[in-house]
Structure 1
């Protein structure tokens, strides 16, 4: 009985780690356990319900205490606590990135992310410039160029990393502004969202997660499986179903590098800004919450990128967190790219 109770408590701890600050999830969890306790009258369930309530109260108290502190003063104090913090700002683009609670900084200082950073932007820029010069005679498009270059980088990287038995992998999220169109290519579970002229959140990408029906069917057809280990994972290993790198899973064809590409009319949307971020942000914020949060902080030095990264950390995010914010200027266009 003691072993069973510890197993249940361990599972509860894992669930709370990932979903503790999502009120709707906590509410449903407590109601479900309370009903279970009512109908089956098991002492161990009653113990878990009480423990979960106590934990919720404790964490809510901590969060309230943090939020009562001065916003900017609190942020500067925390800067010194992160072993790897990286930031960048140039004109209308700002990036802020922290290692957070992870043992390693995979968003930036990792073999696959470094390879994509070193090889994708410059070659993509060259291809796009060539396309602009020969556009009238070319059958290509921005979408096809993005797709082909991303697939090329994945193939080249797999050859190099697999030779060294390096199993590193990365997401890839690229936003290209041209004329009055925005083209977004996505591989993995980094995510883009745009704030339109009315303050609405417009999704620029869709996460590639193993539990999604389309991805689950594809993985099954390839002879693979997904299992739950804190989150749904391909072959019990990878928490996303598409990536660049990850050569052992690529060899099995259960993880693929194919990007989803979406195009948006900027004249119609008249955007204020866009956010490109790794999955660490989206563990703590919905699209709508992120847009509201950043919109209120666009006058900050990093256009709200720093504040939302550290707020995600406050909310208990266990992952690395990287956020890019691009402010739109009237009549101006700018391009940006980001990889995990």
Structure 2
């Protein structure tokens, strides 16, 4: 996707918000005017100092009030008031999403993401039902494991890969017909009784907290600067260049995606997922985090796991807190975080 450029007007507005209107800036202004008043004894300046002190008290009072009502973890008040947020909570899963400093919410409301949401879950559900029925029939026939594998030809990784590649072809057909250049990442976690299978396309990322509190990567970002990706892009006749970050053809900040039909036509961006499987009995996970790249601009895997581990008792299992903390740290992107709690000593699924 082509990221939106910041206009001069919005830049000036943000400078006003983040520097000139901060309580610290007003406080320094008060000190400067107070010193001027002390040495030159001007009534006008004394009046300005009093007004500035009142302004600082008002702003600090507003900060304290909002911080007390909602645990923003230091979130800038002015930004919080103008940012759009979405949230979801059900049993052991919580999601929190914020538009942040972007002009649009690309994490959720755009054609490629909408298409994936509308088609991929149902396609996976149908294929998984077929797979489970085949397994049951094979159990009834009491066949050997090798014979089962030959008969079925299906597995969780193969199902995920097949459905993601099919989705991309359908998406390209639909979006290219209207010259819609939208694209999206794809991060899918498939949970069974003893195994977790994760498929990833793009730079959304998953990380798991195991029984010892370790951060276990569930995926690896697809970035143009990576050696494997760079070689593939060059072999296809493409290039990468730096434009705020390393980008394919100077445009896209990831080397794999769904959609993005102009770059797919050049074969410099591909939809092939990386798929990893994890033994749940061995890891005995406490929770996992699935998040868009906005979070990972502000947090490492280890930092994110530590942060959420300390906040699992919150209503959103820490998802809301880490999103807002990422925003406070200056993340310029949309931020979407899902936290999934697993069955274990610290949580119940």
| Whole-angstrom CA distance in 2 between matches of 1:180 and 1:71 | 41
- Give 1:232's aligned residue: 246
In the alignment, structure 1 residue 106 sits paired with structure 2 residue 106 = yes
In the alignment, structure 1 residue 274 sits paired with structure 2 residue 288 = yes
- Residues 142-151 or 74-83, more deviating: 74-83
- Give 1:314's aligned residue: 328
| Whole-angstrom CA distance in 2 between matches of 1:180 and 1:270 | 10
| Whole-angstrom CA distance in 1 between matches of 2:265 and 2:102 | 28
* CA contact 2:319–2:337 (8 Å) conserved in 1: yes
Query: C-alpha displacement at 1:122, in angstroms?
Result: 1.0
Q: Name the TM-score, length of structure 1 as normaliser.
A: 0.76
| Whole-angstrom CA distance in 2 between matches of 1:79 and 1:266 | 40
* CA contact 2:83–2:101 (8 Å) conserved in 1: no
- Give 2:179's aligned residue: 165
- Give 2:70's aligned residue: 72
SS at 2:272 equivalent: coil
- Give 1:298's aligned residue: 312
Query: C-alpha displacement at 1:329, in angstroms?
Result: 1.7
**How does 1:188-337 map onto structure 2 within 5 Å?**
188-330=202-344
* CA contact 1:193–1:202 (8 Å) conserved in 2: yes
Per-residue displacement from partner, 1:110-143 (whole Å, max 9, x unpaired)?
1100100000001101110110110234111000
Superposition RMSD in Å: 2.4
Q: Name the TM-score, length of structure 2 as normaliser.
A: 0.74
* CA contact 1:225–1:235 (8 Å) conserved in 2: yes
* CA contact 1:179–1:333 (8 Å) conserved in 2: no
| Whole-angstrom CA distance in 2 between matches of 1:293 and 1:72 | 18
C-alpha distance 220-204 of structure 1, shift in aligned 2 (>3 A): same
| Whole-angstrom CA distance in 2 between matches of 1:330 and 1:86 | 28
Please identify the structure whose Cα radius of gyration is greater. 2
- Give 1:95's aligned residue: 95
Give the total of aligned pairs.
Answer: 271
* CA contact 1:171–1:188 (8 Å) conserved in 2: yes
| Whole-angstrom CA distance in 2 between matches of 1:156 and 1:202 | 33
Per-residue displacement from partner, 1:68-118 (whole Å, max 9, x unpaired)?
x55934369679624431110100000000100011100001110010000
Per-residue displacement from partner, 1:47-82 (whole Å, max 9, x unpaired)?
xxxxxxxxxxxxxxxxxx99xx55934369679624
SS at 1:115 equivalent: helix
| Whole-angstrom CA distance in 1 between matches of 2:204 and 2:229 | 16
| Whole-angstrom CA distance in 1 between matches of 2:193 and 2:271 | 28
* CA contact 2:95–2:319 (8 Å) conserved in 1: yes
C-alpha distance 266-78 of structure 1, shift in aligned 2 (>3 A): farther
Instruction: List runs of 5+ in structure 2 lacking aligned partners.
Output: 1-10, 12-62, 139-150
SS at 2:72 equivalent: helix
* CA contact 1:82–1:99 (8 Å) conserved in 2: no
C-alpha distance 204-314 of structure 1, shift in aligned 2 (>3 A): same
- Give 2:160's aligned residue: 146
